[in-house]
Amino acid sequence: MKINPDKKVVEEVLAGLAANQKKYGKRYCPCRIVSGNVEEDAKKICPCVWCKEEVERDGHCLCNLYVK
């Protein structure tokens, strides 16, 4: 698993992470919906718990920050 070599994609995802950090105080994946439930949302902090599974299955995570 590595960071996507597409600079534009990485910049967009990092902007989303920064926005979530500012809004929620945590770097939630920008491709996940934050529910407000602290316990449930803990799984959505980047890299999220589904990241490795998605990369193995699809070749990239949902937001395309990480690729195979």
Query: What is the CATH number for 38?
Result: 3.90.460.10
Q: What is the dihedral of CA 36, 43, 51, 21, to 10 degrees?
A: 50
> Could you tell me the pLDDT band of residue 64, with boundaries at 50, 70 and 90?
very high
Structure tokens at 2: 């590595």
Contact indicator for 20, 30 with CB cutoff of 8 Å: yes
pLDDT for 43 equals: 96
Structure tokens at 50: 């589904």
Structure tokens at 33: 């919906």
The parent domain of residue 41 ranges over: 2-67
Q: What is the DSSP letter of 67?
A: E
Counted domains in the chain: 1
What's the pLDDT tens digit per position in 6-56?
Answer: 999 999 999 999 999 999 999 999 999 999 999 999 999 999 999 999 999
pLDDT for 63 equals: 94
First to last CA, the chain: 5
